[in-house]
Amino acid sequence: MIAIQDPPDREIEIDVWIPNPYANRAALAWPWLRGVRLVLSLMAGTEWIPPLVGPHVTICNARGAHNICTAEWTLGAILAMLKYFPMYYEIQREGKWKRRFEAPSHYAEITGDKRPIYPPVMLEELTGKTVLLVGHGSIGKEIERMLTPFHTHVMRIARTARSAEQVRAVSELDTLLPRADVVVLILPSTDETKDLIGSRQLRLMKQGALLVNAARGPIVNTEALVEALHSGRIRAAIDVTDPEPLPEVHPLWSCPNLMITPHIGGSSKEFSLRGMRTASGEVRRYLKGEPLENVVQAAI
């Protein structure tokens, strides 16, 4: 195994390349590599790799390596928004206990439920809510597993329907959106999924529904999301944005009812170990001439 600098200081002949997880750094190394037949990404998303290496290289992703950390981020984001943690963190920083009574008005505004409730509503519960998983691959299934103790009603969407798993086709997205309290996006970035969630889909979401994007930024139309958040109809928690990195002056930063994390949902210490184990397994299969497990592009 050779550790490759970004960029290398000389041309390097290798069969198998494990690129730097940061695409811009990996792109610096690629022009110096010769003879690459197999690329093993440590990430689940590989959309940037085919344009870089071309069609004559086999590409595998690290399916499964991100499952736990991304699913935990997703669950944490859902709970943080339903428990109003961003607002309570602001209260902590200001040291003003009585600001807690902003919670009932926040609940009324975002949900549209303006009935007098006593004691006042200071947070919401996940238990019993309807969650729509848009994407039902290995990470989506792990999210569903983690939701199980909360007795949520889970609806599932994937590119194609799978009746045995009660997974509906993505063509039914607009039909299911109005029924969901929480919409989780966990699907790859492709030409087909770009702007999958636009103005129409955001209008179809019920008042106060929570949109969680743990997938890729371009799946959600950014201008439509900014407009929907300012309208007060929905709330969102996102780990990915379009553009990314998000510029300092971008309007998303100041949107109400929004929590942003800077694309860190898959970045745990344990993920790195799982990613390398996944890659090493593919290397062993490659050397033995066995079928590879996580092929996303077969060489032509």
pLDDT computed for residue 265 by the predictor: 93
Known catalytic residue: 263?
yes
Which of these is catalytic: 99, 230, 250, 263?
Answer: 263
pLDDT computed for residue 21 by the predictor: 86
Helix boundaries (H) for 148-254 = 173-176, 199-204, 222-231
pLDDT digits (tens, 9 = 90+) for 77-110: 999 999 999 999 999 999 999 999 999 999 999 9
Known catalytic residue: 244?
yes
Q: Do 12-65+268-297 and 67-83+124-260 come out as alike in CATH topology?
A: yes
Q: Which fold has domain 67-83+124-260?
A: Rossmann fold (3.40.50)
Residue 55 φ then ψ, to 5°: -85, -5
> Can you list the residues of the chain whose pLDDT is less than 70?
1
Whether the Cβ atoms of residue 60 and residue 41 lie closer than 8 Å to each other: yes
Known catalytic residue: 230?
no
d(CA 114, CA 3): 60
Which of these is catalytic: 216, 233, 235, 274?
Answer: 216
Which of these is catalytic: 90, 165, 244, 270?
Answer: 244
d(CA 67, CA 36): 28
pLDDT computed for residue 140 by the predictor: 96
pLDDT computed for residue 71 by the predictor: 97
Q: Which fold has domain 12-65+268-297?
A: Rossmann fold (3.40.50)
Give domain limits for the chain: 12-65+268-297, 67-83+124-260
pLDDT computed for residue 1 by the predictor: 65
pLDDT computed for residue 300 by the predictor: 87
pLDDT computed for residue 260 by the predictor: 98
pLDDT digits (tens, 9 = 90+) for 169-216: 999 999 999 999 999 999 988 889 999 999 999 999 999 999 999 999
Average pLDDT, the chain: 94
